[in-house]
Amino acid sequence: MAVTGRAVLAGFAAVLVVLVAGSLGLWVAWAALGLLAAALLLDLLLAASPRAVRFERSGDTSVRLGETAHVALVLANPGRRRLRARVRDAWAPSAGAQPRSTTVSVPARGRLRLSTALTPRRRGDQFAAGVTVRSVGPLGLAARQCTHTVPWTVRALPPFHSRRHLPGKLSRLRELDGQHLALVRGQGSEFDSLREYVPGDDVRSIDWRATARRDGVVVRTWRPERDRRILIVLDTGRTSAGRVGDVPRLDHAMDAALLLAALAGRAGDRVDLLAYDRRVRAQVRSHGRGSRLPQLVQAMAPLEPELVESDPAGLVATILGGHSRTRQLVVLLTDLNAAALEEGLLPRLPALTARHLLMVAAVGDPRVTEMAAERGTARGIYSAAAAERTLGERHRVTAELRRHGVEVVDADPDHIAPALADAYIALKAQGRL
């Protein structure tokens, strides 16, 4: 039940009528009031039932963050009266739904298609909250209102901004592979094929055994290793909630992880994903070759930073207890937080590095670097000192990790994804995978 602005106008018109004709007696006031009430009641009774309206939904179920998804809503009016109504397809504020409400007129037994454009402002699942129909009567005075649940979910996927780095990194990969025009020999350690000796080939790569069986000289060619396993671990603990430039660390980490996964997928490696704080939040295992990128993106989409301290012991146990008994590259995306790492991860590193190659990637905060450069005022110099201390601890943890044979990638948000990709390519070039 609701009233319209027209009903309010009618109310004030009744005031005018009573002002003019009130000298006739009190009955004029009550008669005006009664007429108004009767008109409202009549309008309510004559309005099409909003309760009987039926809905159908269709449209996008996922959208990359920053882009717009369209969800269609089909209204069916099964009644015998024309439905004149305002319809609101409600979504959570961060879904960025437009328009907020629509004025519709659906003939009896007719259908109407409405479209809602969603531009989510946050990663994760957006749920349709409900469709409210406010059916106005023929006089336009009063309306009946009913809310229906018409479920729909739109998943806002990580934006993957770093995909613009992908072509450049792929061409560097192809250089390694020998597919590129610039021939770089000797990369990789995996036997690829035998071919005729061409002047200019390294004599050390001549396969004498094969040469003995043939007329010409035969050399071995090598290629980078393939089918290596890469496990990307996202730390979703409390340190991942901190915002670097208004985006949580976790989202920067996802961006870097997606670039690495895309690159590794093209390079023929298998990419697994694990999101962990005190328990497994998401897990993707690759079976066979091929790109797992869509699964990774879907698994990452609903992840939220949890406000708990991460449990490195459980993390190490989960990695070691995983189904892959073979050596793999473990890429841990976390924060180089001295307190958390020194107490949690460092003591357990030997167990991990004995079996796997560990790479720690962390997003640095440009704000801390800015603070470290502040000078001139007392306040500024204290800020600089505090920032220097943070940077010093970060440096100390990095040195400690490197001493344990861990690869450390520490870069600001704009460079973390390419830096991680470069580190991966470098490992591949060195044949350390």
User: Contact between 412 and another protein (CB under 8 A)?
Assistant: no
Cα 141 from Cα 270, distance rounded (Å): 65
Pairing of strands 328-334, 69-76: unpaired
Cis peptide before 305 (omega within 30 of 0): no
What mask of x and - would describe binding to another protein in positions 348 to 387, judged by CB under 8 A?
A: ---------------x-x-xx--xx--xxxxxxxxxxxxx
- 214 or 389: whose CB is closer to another protein? 389
Q: Which of 70, 109, 113, 148 binds another protein (CB under 8 A)?
A: 148
Residue closer to another protein by CB (options 124, 178) is 124
Nearest to 117 by CA among 179, 50, 46, 67: 67
Region of 53 on the Ramachandran plot (φ > 0 left; ψ -120 to 50 alpha; else beta): beta
The verdict on 193 binding another protein (CB under 8 A) reads: no
> Which of 13, 426 has the CB closer to another protein?
13
The residue count for binding another protein (CB under 8 A) is: 111
Q: Tell whether residue 293 is a contact of another protein (CB under 8 A).
A: no
Helix (H) or strand (E) holding 193: strand 190-196
The reply to whether 80 sits near another protein by the rule CB under 8 A is no
- Strand, helix or coil at 41? helix
Closest CB 190 distance from another protein, rounded Å: 29
Is residue 390 a contact residue for another protein (CB under 8 A)?
yes
Q: Which stretch binds another protein (CB under 8 A): 210-218, 222-230, 241-249, 261-269?
A: 241-249
160 binds another protein (CB under 8 A): no
Per CB under 8 A, which region of 112-120, 204-212, 283-291, 404-412 contacts another protein?
283-291
CB of 124 to another protein, least distance (A): 9
Q: Between residues 194 and 381, which has the closer beta carbon with respect to another protein? A: 381
Q: Is 156 helix (H, G, I), strand (E, B) or coil?
A: strand
Question: Per-residue string for binding with another protein, 301-340, x by CB under 8 A?
Answer: xx-xx-x----------x--xxx-----------x-----
Q: Which residues are CB-neighbours of 65 under 8 A, at least 6 positions away?
A: 120, 122, 123, 156, 157, 158, 159
Candidates 139-147, 204-212, 263-271, 349-357; binding stretch for another protein (CB under 8 A): 139-147
- The pair of three-digit structure tokens given for residue 402, joined into one six-digit string: 């490197």
Where in 215-234 is the site for another protein (CB under 8 A)? none
Q: Does 430 bind another protein (CB under 8 A)?
A: no
Residue with tokens 């000796």: 197
Q: Does the footprint of another protein cover residue 429 (CB under 8 A)?
A: no
Instruction: Please answer whether residues 104 and 111 qualify as being in contact, where contact means their C-beta atoms are separated by less than 8 angstroms.
Output: no
132 lies in the site for another protein, by CB under 8 A: yes
- Structure tokens given for 47: 């309005």
Indicate the residue among 154 and 349 with the shorter CB distance to another protein: 154
Give the residue with the Cβ less far from another protein, 15 or 108: 15
Picking from 218, 223, 217, 219, the residue whose alpha carbon sits closest to that of residue 192 is: 223
Residue 343 as a binder of another protein (CB under 8 A): the answer is: no
Q: Measured from the CB of residue 383, what is the shortest distance to another protein in angstroms?
A: 4
Question: Which of helix, strand or coil describes residue 320?
Answer: helix
Which residues between 21 and 50 bind another protein (CB under 8 A)? 21-23, 25-26, 28-30, 32-33, 36
Sign of CA dihedral 23, 26, 32, 33: positive
The residue (of 209 and 325) whose beta carbon lies closer to another protein is: 325
∠ CA 97-102-103, rounded to 5°? 175
DSSP annotation of 239? G
DSSP H or E run through 353 = helix 349-355
Query: What is the three-class DSSP state of 170?
Result: helix
Among 80, 151, 182, 212, binds another protein (CB under 8 A): 151
Pick the closer one to another protein by CB: 34 or 168.
34
Which residues on adjacent β-strands are paired with residue 59? 71
Binds another protein (CB under 8 A): choice among 42, 96, 125, 422: 125
Nearest 5°: the CA angle 120, 264, 178 is 135
* Nearest Cα to Cα of residue 217 among 225, 208, 226: 208
Interaction of residue 58 with another protein, rule CB under 8 A: yes
Query: Shortest Cβ distance from residue 42 to another protein (Å)?
Result: 16
CA neighbor of 300 nearest in space, from 159, 118, 128, 126: 159
